[in-house]
Structure 1
Amino acid sequence: MYQLYHDKEKSIIEVKGLKKVFQNANLNITDEPYRYNQYYYFCKNRKALVEMGRGIKEEWLKELKASLEAIERIKI
Structure 2
Amino acid sequence: MKALLGGKGAVLAEMTHAGIEVPPGFTITTEVCKAFYRSRRKAPPGLESEMRTHLKKLEKAVGKRLGDPQDPLLVSVR
- Larger helix proportion of the pair: 2
Is TM more than 0.5 here?
A: no
Q: Which has the greater radius of gyration? A: 1
The higher relative CO (CA closer than 8 Å, separation ≥ 6) is in: 1
After TM superposition, the score normalised by the length of structure 1 is 0.31
